[in-house]
Structure 1
Amino acid sequence: MCCDTALAAHLFIPMDASMQADHLRAYGVVYAALQRDADVRWLLNYRGGSFVIDDDGTAAQMCKERGVSCSDMDKAEYKAIEKEMERGGNTFNIVKLEKAPKIAVYTPTNKKPWDDAVTMALTYAQIPFDKVYADDVLDGALDKYNWLHLHHEDFTGQLGKYWGQFHGVDWYVQEQNTQQAIAARHGFDKISKMQLAVVQKIRDFVGAGGNLFAMCSATETFDIALAAQNTDICEDVFDGDPLDPDYQEKLDYTQCFAFTGFRVYPNPVLYLHSDIDDFGAHIGQEAFDAFSLNVFPARPDPIPAMLTQDHTATIKGFMGQTTVFRTEKLKPGVLSLAGYPAPGSKSFYEARYIHGDYEKGTWTFYSGHDPEDFQHLVGDPPTDLSQHPNSPGYRLILNNVLLPAVKRVLVPKIACCDVQVAPVPETKLETVPQKVLPADISAPDTYNIYPAGDQLTLSINHNSTAAKNINNIERVVITNAEGKEFISQPVNAATASIDIRNLPPGMYMIKINGDYAGKLMKE
């Protein structure tokens, strides 16, 4: 559906599934209109969260150039929509967007071997943003912005927990040197202390009225850094001295935005920060993994509805270093915007997308790395969003970009009973749970590691393509996240069968011949 570039009273940009050719670039058209001080209204819960712009022809021409569906709308048509939405009571709301947000993305100048979904979304939608990093934040640069994004960042000082797999690789060494140099420039003797100072600056940015949006590991490590500010959770490979033996008892959850009661995992060879995440249940589930958006009334508080506008209530699952949030680790008052509902229940047993306030500002955490790549690995090419112009998962990112454009009105929080959970097909929920799940095998070209059909035995063998010139499996050791040894089994053969029936439920690390080989989750 194309629009006439001739002058019209209003320009209507539909955001429902069947009528919009490019949902993502529609946000860029809206943002550009705000930059021109045009009158922009967001029709919350109406046709996927459609937009109306008072236009002199500029927005219509931009839609035509960018492939965004739109149509002219006269005043009578707009009034009819207003009346229709009024009849819906609190379900609908027409929200005026006041200003173009000033956007910053926290990203390093040196290229890391992964990409950032938000940077890609903003670039594809043609929404301008500035890049900032630790030096900028510590020097007070956030005062210029009202929206900040954090992505695949480790604020704990443990360098992404990549030590076990990549500590000798050039990009890892460069990253460590870069972080140490930043710390030294600002008078810190440890990366972890510098990262804590960055987190505290960002916390103050939110407290002063800023809007924080974080994805992937930045969600989890932001809160871990705040909780660990009075202890040392870093092993000596990260900061040159031992961790505090009482680190767990010294965590202060009152400092956190979102999470409470979590355990941290300092083991440097374990690619896992804490038990906030429950990634294990999602490994190998690409065909079945989907989560649901909560459906919020758009009045009296429009913010939850703004953040969940989409053209579908079901989003394809996707993994990341932090894949999901265990709901039992969420603080009281944290709003779950999306997650995995238990069959027949409104409650999520795992959350994917959460939101809350801190003093005068807001924060939103969205788990996973790339909404259009189920398991994005280090070194994988970036997603081409021109192939996914209607991505529901990426729409959630761009909803957040518009949050500062709305004048906030303080209203009572929505209670859990006031929301309806969009159901996920039963087959998807029933297929996900497994008892034992292999995870993150660091040497896939060397070993195959998988649970046997009885779920009581772990099978290990050489990958057939790499079997030549490989020594036998001499010993398999399985430890928990704290390094406590549960199994140490001599093998001295090309294959191994490890009895794991007596392993308590939890996360475990696998070593083969003394080298880290992966981890498993037993439920």
Structure 2
Amino acid sequence: MIRERFKPMKHFFIPLIIFFMLSGSCWANRILIPMDETQKNHLKAYGISYWILKNFEIEIDWLLNYRGGSFLVPYSQSFTSEMTIRGISFNVISEGQAGDILNQISAPDVNMDAVKLQKAPRVAVYSPKSKLPWDDAVTLVLTYAEIPYDVVYDDEVLNGKLPEYDWLHLHHEDFTGQFGKFFQYKDYPWYREQKQEAEGTAEKFQFSSVPQMKLAVAKKISEFVSGGGYMFAMCNATDTFDIALAADGIDIVESMYDGTPADPTANGKLNYDNSFAFRDFKTIPYPYEIEFSDIDNQPDERGLTEANDFFTLFQFSAKWDPVPSMLTQNHQSIIKGFLGQTTAFKNKFVKPEVVILAENKPAHEARYIHSTHGKGFFTFYGGHDPEDYQHRVGEEPTDLNLHPNSAGYRLILNNILFPAAKKKKLKT
């Protein structure tokens, strides 16, 4: 009798348990990774997105202009566990809540959009094998965000390995073949090692000089972009890349670099049709002047100090200009400036078809620019290290554990995820 009395209760609890199991799985259907000021670690949030794309091959919604460019991910316990380990802020939301967010974003009167990220890009960083007395902001942030990459240099480029990758990064590199114009450091071990390495590669590939070899490398990279690759460059890899291409067939370097004097009429022969971003610039051949051309805005021309050096991100239409919108996603619209061998680009030398993503208006300079080249894309970002205003030769690398919410470093990582976007969404 006692058993019979409690039998209905047993039948009641079984469907109740099933209901809670089912409703629980439906309730926990999406993960929202906020990218506004509530995010504890913006940089690692990019890394977890890359990790999900690479290891699970599922789509991620990048919510442009929604809470700083948040990410919406299908729910998985393994995802939330990994986010917790990495110190990333996230919210588990229902499918209904996710639908409400997507409906809000899709409204025609709001400047938001959802872009599908589909496949983790294969990443390569162009960097010498020898250790240099400065650090690369991109390798620092890729390592911190836990995004894998391969290192390639002149050998790999000249041997045709670039098509194996989707995304190529160039940082503190001199494509004019003048070793950064650091001639005053010629007796330092790192300079001698760099010079010896470059001369060995030039001889191996039967080039008459390092400048000729670096030009060939720049042309290979240009072919990579034209064929559909994505190139991101910082510091003096930006202007020296364009200078080398514009000076194809012209001697713009002095004899200590190639054994022959520079052509005194070189600036009248530059072909700006070959360059990606800049036009009408003039080279600076003097070996003891550390500048390569007049593209870079000099400190005495800028009239800025660390206290007032800031640049502003432009806002683009997320629905009509998704590419520049992706590249400018941030929780801050005003970014603190930072110096480099190439710090900023004078506006007057930027080609009209190039999109200026961020600028310092008082200094008449562009800091962050983007455009297409053939079937591919390129982005140039002036300066050396977004969290070290004036990084000097031999200084310790920036510890990104102290800057997990760096707005300046976020711009680099926007470029990492950009190639993962669904192609039909790219309207520019």
**What TM-score, normalized to structure 2?**
0.91
CA-CA distance at 1:140 after TM superposition: 0.6
Contact 2:323–2:427 (8 Å) recurs in 1: no
Q: Secondary structure at the match of 1:231?
A: coil
Query: Following the alignment from structure 2 to structure 1, what is the Cα–Cα distance between the partners of residues 333 and 318?
Result: 16
Of 238, 241, 244, 1:219 maps to: 238
> What does residue 147 of structure 1 align with?
167
Of 55, 66, 80, 2:75 maps to: 55
1:416-455 matches, cutoff 5 A? none
> What does residue 382 of structure 1 align with?
397
Contact 2:27–2:94 (8 Å) recurs in 1: no
Q: Deviations over 1:293-343 (max 9, x none)?
A: 00111112311000000001000000000000000001111100001124x
CA-CA distance at 1:284 after TM superposition: 6.6
Q: Does 1:407 align with 2:426?
A: no
CA-CA distance at 1:90 after TM superposition: 5.9
Of 377, 382, 388, 1:362 maps to: 377
**Alignment RMSD (CA, Å):** 1.7
Query: Following the alignment from structure 1 to structure 2, what is the Cα–Cα distance between the partners of residues 198 and 408?
Result: 28
Unaligned runs of 5+ in 2: 1-23
1:97-116 matches, cutoff 5 A? 97-116=117-136
Question: Does the C-alpha gap of structure 1 residues 412 and 25 become closer, same or farther in structure 2, counting only changes over 3 Å?
Answer: closer
Of 350, 354, 367, 1:352 maps to: 367
Question: Does the C-alpha gap of structure 1 residues 283 and 114 become closer, same or farther in structure 2, counting only changes over 3 Å?
Answer: farther
> What does residue 15 of structure 2 align with?
none
Query: Following the alignment from structure 1 to structure 2, what is the Cα–Cα distance between the partners of residues 12 and 305?
Result: 19
Query: Following the alignment from structure 2 to structure 1, what is the Cα–Cα distance between the partners of residues 346 and 302?
Result: 13
> What does residue 61 of structure 2 align with?
41
Of 328, 331, 334, 1:308 maps to: 328
Q: Count the aligned residue pairs.
A: 403
Q: In structure 1, give the amino acid aligned to 2:119.
A: K
> What does residue 407 of structure 2 align with?
392
Q: Deviations over 1:429-450 (max 9, x none)?
A: xxxxxxxxxxxxxxxxxxxxxx
> What does residue 12 of structure 1 align with?
32
> What does residue 196 of structure 2 align with?
177
Q: Deviations over 1:196-225 (max 9, x none)?
A: 110011000001100000000000000000
Query: Following the alignment from structure 1 to structure 2, what is the Cα–Cα distance between the partners of residues 292 and 223?
Result: 25
Q: In structure 1, give the amino acid aligned to 2:390.
A: Q
Of 105, 109, 118, 1:89 maps to: 109
Contact 1:341–1:350 (8 Å) recurs in 2: yes
User: Which of the pair is proportionally richer in strand?
Assistant: 1
CA-CA distance at 1:55 after TM superposition: 2.6
> What does residue 341 of structure 1 align with?
361
> What does residue 96 of structure 2 align with?
76
Q: Does 1:327 align with 2:347?
A: yes
1:242-281 matches, cutoff 5 A? 242-280=261-299, 281=301
Q: Secondary structure at the match of 2:269?
A: coil
Q: Does 1:159 align with 2:174?
A: no
Query: Following the alignment from structure 2 to structure 1, what is the Cα–Cα distance between the partners of residues 331 and 236?
Result: 27
Of 233, 238, 255, 2:257 maps to: 238
Q: Deviations over 1:397-428 (max 9, x none)?
A: 00000111012348765xxxxxxxxxxxxxxx
Q: Secondary structure at the match of 2:125?
A: strand
Contact 2:322–2:426 (8 Å) recurs in 1: no
Unaligned runs of 5+ in 1: 343-347, 414-523
> What does residue 21 of structure 1 align with?
40
Question: Does the C-alpha gap of structure 1 residues 88 and 310 become closer, same or farther in structure 2, counting only changes over 3 Å?
Answer: farther
CA-CA distance at 1:102 after TM superposition: 0.3
Question: Does the C-alpha gap of structure 1 residues 98 and 410 become closer, same or farther in structure 2, counting only changes over 3 Å?
Answer: closer
Query: Following the alignment from structure 1 to structure 2, what is the Cα–Cα distance between the partners of residues 58 and 100?
Result: 18
Q: Secondary structure at the match of 1:311?
A: coil
Q: In structure 1, give the amino acid aligned to 2:398.
A: T
Question: Does the C-alpha gap of structure 1 residues 370 and 6 become closer, same or farther in structure 2, counting only changes over 3 Å?
Answer: farther
Query: Following the alignment from structure 2 to structure 1, what is the Cα–Cα distance between the partners of residues 160 and 109?
Result: 44
> What does residue 286 of structure 1 align with?
306
Q: Secondary structure at the match of 2:121?
A: coil
Question: Does the C-alpha gap of structure 1 residues 74 and 411 become closer, same or farther in structure 2, counting only changes over 3 Å?
Answer: closer
- State, as a whole percentage, how many aligned pairs show the same letter: 48
Q: Does 1:201 align with 2:216?
A: no
Q: Which has the higher contact order (CA 8 A, sep 6+)?
A: 2
Query: Following the alignment from structure 2 to structure 1, what is the Cα–Cα distance between the partners of residues 233 and 312?
Result: 19
Q: Deviations over 1:1-36 (max 9, x none)?
A: xxx99992111100001x100000000000011011
Q: Secondary structure at the match of 1:95?
A: strand
Q: Deviations over 1:166-219 (max 9, x none)?
A: 112221111111110011111101001100110011000001100000000000
Q: In structure 2, give the amino acid aligned to 1:109.
A: K
